[in-house]
Structure 1
């Protein structure tokens, strides 16, 4: 099979596209013939070496946390899926940038028939992040006001839709070129962070989903209602600042969850959720990671495993 390989930690320039042996599914695992692989910030964070202290990897390794494709073989004990099933999932912290990948069945869901494989390849990590941020940590309710920073990106664009589906009023921050896009996804109000400081124009909110960190996160406390929640998968919120405004800060790492992904799949099947993807060949993973590093992509970057 073909795979992108990382021989040493560093920059995207170190990636190699080469032939390696196909993986073999173990107990409760399936082998997936990959149609596409999603590109996520965690991919370049792992590549940089910044995470090696708590995610030790044997070099060389294949990047990629999520895929969509067809089940090509099943391991011992697998009953949930059969050869030929179309699936997608957040498979692991590595292994996705390849034409074949192995995944545990509890990390997968069946691909919705109305969601093409290359779009499905970019769903799992961002949709699970948005779902867990809003429903598990933010505990959003109908009628609440939710502020989403970085709303035009992969996680943000799914979060706008999930918050809308939950009945929340969605306020998004984004550059001017993404305002119509976000209104189309369900944002009631969109603030151009290049033109105005959001805290000067946003009325108090119940939940802030911070996908930016740094100064944006620090300024977000001023728009939270007492009892509100600031949720960030990017960086831990300051507990002292949270206490000062009688709010709560929550930081989390996204959990792979096949059952949760099935609920998300149902929303794609019904047409309530959509995803915007930009597709590059698998052989151009280096360019895809450079774009992801820029931090200004709309929707999701996906690698086409057939090219």
Structure 2
């Protein structure tokens, strides 16, 4: 097998593609021959060393939290999958930038036949983040109004679609080049953050999903109606400021959940969800991480592990 290795924290240019012996599953594990692995912000945050205090990892390690591929072998206790099944999953915090990965069955779901394997590699982490933000943290209800910051990125793209499926009115911020894209996903009001102040256009929203943080989050409190909620997986809201505005501020870390992923897979099978991806060879993982770190990507970056 081949895998990207991080030998030391720092710049993404320090990544190397190396050869390793093939993996073998334990009694409770599933071995996957990987087709594609999604790039996520947590990947470059860990590589940079910024997360050492919260996620200590022994070096060297292989980045990557999500994959899609084919089941190559199963442990004796695994009942949910068979060799040859096409699956995808949020496998954990590391390991995905490789031609083989090991994970447990509860982190996986069957890949819908309509979703190409490379595209599927970019779904689990972003879609689960959006799902948990909307349905667990915000408890989004039909008829509510939601403002989604950073809507054209991986999580934002799914959040726009899932919010519309939930019956919400969706306002989405993005750059002008992403207007048609976001409207095609279901955004009913587009706000070009480079040309307009969103707080002048968005008022009395029930939910803000903040995927940007910083100044964007700080400016968002005034647009939320009392009793509303600001949810952010990227930056913890200040509880004192939230209380001053009479709203809830929630911060969370995405968890792997095979049951939720199966529901997301069903939506893909029913053609109710879509994903836009840019495919990058595994050998160019460093460049892909650098591109992700710069931001402003549309949809998801996915590594083709066979290139």
TM-score by length of 2: 0.99
Secondary structure, counterpart of 1:71 in structure 2: strand
Once the 2 structures are TM-superposed, how far is the Cα of residue 50 of structure 1 from its aligned partner?
1.3
Once the 2 structures are TM-superposed, how far is the Cα of residue 75 of structure 1 from its aligned partner?
1.2
Once the 2 structures are TM-superposed, how far is the Cα of residue 27 of structure 1 from its aligned partner?
2.6
Match of 2:99 in 1: 99
Match of 2:83 in 1: 83
Distance 1:137 1:48 in 2: 29
Match of 1:117 in 2: 117
1:17-36 matched pairs, under 5 angstroms: 17-36=17-36
Match of 1:153 in 2: 153
Secondary structure, counterpart of 1:50 in structure 2: coil
Secondary structure, counterpart of 2:55 in structure 1: coil
Match of 1:139 in 2: 139
Distance 1:208 1:23 in 2: 43
In structure 2, the gaps of 5 or more residues are none
Once the 2 structures are TM-superposed, how far is the Cα of residue 54 of structure 1 from its aligned partner?
2.5
Distance 2:178 2:206 in 1: 24
Match of 1:16 in 2: 16
Secondary structure, counterpart of 1:191 in structure 2: strand
Secondary structure, counterpart of 1:51 in structure 2: coil
Secondary structure, counterpart of 1:132 in structure 2: helix
Once the 2 structures are TM-superposed, how far is the Cα of residue 202 of structure 1 from its aligned partner?
1.1
Distance 1:260 1:243 in 2: 31
Secondary structure, counterpart of 2:254 in structure 1: coil
Once the 2 structures are TM-superposed, how far is the Cα of residue 51 of structure 1 from its aligned partner?
1.3
Distance 1:305 1:13 in 2: 18
Once the 2 structures are TM-superposed, how far is the Cα of residue 55 of structure 1 from its aligned partner?
1.6
C-alpha RMSD of matched pairs (Å): 0.7
Distance 1:140 1:28 in 2: 36
Distance 2:25 2:257 in 1: 19
TM-score by length of 1: 0.99
Runs ≥4 residues deviating over 3 A: none
Secondary structure, counterpart of 2:126 in structure 1: helix
Once the 2 structures are TM-superposed, how far is the Cα of residue 58 of structure 1 from its aligned partner?
1.5
Distance 2:25 2:294 in 1: 35
1:171-186 matched pairs, under 5 angstroms: 171-186=171-186
1:52-67 matched pairs, under 5 angstroms: 52-67=52-67
Distance 1:202 1:50 in 2: 34
Alignment deviations for residues 167-192 of structure 1 (CA, whole Å, 9 cap, x no partner): 00000000000011000000000101
